Amino acid sequence: MKTIFLFAFIGILGALGAAGLFMLKNNSGADKSQRRPKMARALALRVGLSVALFVFILFSYWMGWIEPTGLPLRP
């Protein structure tokens, strides 16, 4: 389960890094028109991976695969 979360976080950070590289890439005017769709696609992938990870965590909790391990509620 931890490896799934790790790969999802790596994918999210990779998509964010790719979007940042597409944004900062300094090329000629002809390439600027191709830069925006690539950056938007990378950011959309990041959002999609984040939502999928959140839904997977909720589903895993619902199925009983993971359990909360927070602080006990004892006064």
Question: What tens digit of pLDDT does each residue of 12-69 get?
Answer: 999 999 988 888 875 555 566 666 788 888 899 999 999 999 999 999 999 988 888 8
Mark 38-62 as b/e (b = at least 16 C-beta within 10 Å). bbeebbebbeebbeebeeebeeeee
Cβ contacts of 11 within 8 Å, gap of 6 or more: 49
Distance CA 55, CA 40 (A): 22
Alpha carbon 11 to its chain centroid, in Å, reads: 6
Residue 1 confidence class, pLDDT cut points 50, 70, 90: confident
Quote the pLDDT of residue 55. 95
pTM exceeds cut of 0.85? no
Q: What are phi and psi of 26, to 5 degrees?
A: -110, 95
